Amino acid sequence: MFLALIEITERFYLLDLVCGLLDGLWRFVDGRRHCLASEAFWKDSLIEAGFDQVAFTKVRVAGRKRNPQVIVAWNGE
């Protein structure tokens, strides 16, 4: 099993301003306090879903993590 996705993993305040008023954006019930999920949340969720390994891009621009990031998860099967 293999999964690759592109996701914003750090809080992006403009997203709150632009999308925060959309009906349903804040209906998640998985413990997050913001609509974006952190790297740790993604890793824990993907491991719980049955993936053995989870990797994130390590690219930095001006000393900061690049956003959005590529997230890859796979099983060793």
Q: How do residues 17-51 score in pLDDT, each as one tens digit?
A: 777 777 777 787 888 877 788 889 999 999 999 99
- Domains of the chain, by residue range, sit at 2-74
> Pairing state of beta strands 64-65 and 60-61?
antiparallel
Residues 66/60, Cβ–Cβ less than 8 Å: yes
> Biggest alpha carbon distance in the chain?
43
pLDDT at residue number 77: 65
pLDDT at residue number 14: 75
Cα distance between residue 74 and residue 72, in whole Å: 7
Cα distance between residue 58 and residue 77, in whole Å: 25
Per-residue pLDDT at 73 exceeds 90: yes
